[in-house]
Amino acid sequence: MSGRWWGVAVLLLAGCKRDAEQSAAIVTGGDPALGKAAISRYGCGSCHTIPGVPGATATVGPPLQALGQRTFLAGRLPNSPENLMQWVRHPQELEQGTAMPNLDVTEEDARHIAAYLYTLR
């Protein structure tokens, strides 16, 4: 997605929750509800605090609230749907030695997870 369209998507995400869910689905190609379920399945809450995900209150990794409003992912990657999906799928390839493990997240699940995370503002 070009920078211009990504900016429009961010503005759309600033709307109400339903609009945020629709916008997140559009920019990622995923389903936020399926992303929330995938986050639980992959155990993301064992390291992160993730609003709306039961039991996701850990502090090993950074809290993920307002992820949709952040400028960077992992401290250095521009926050774009493509980068977020790659980070979820292959964190060790993007930053060797990071504490975030490779969890063998499928491409489809990464889209859904990204969609859910982009609803967090």
Q: Are 13 and 24 in contact (CB under 8 A)?
A: yes
91-98 average pLDDT score? 95
> Is pLDDT of 36 > 90?
yes
**What are the domain boundaries of the chain?**
3-117
What CATH number labels 3-117? 2.60.40.420
Return the DSSP state at 49: B
Query: What SS3 class is residue 114?
Result: helix
Residue 17: the pLDDT is 67
Question: For the whole model, what pTM was predicted?
Answer: 0.85
How many residues make up the chain in this entry? 121
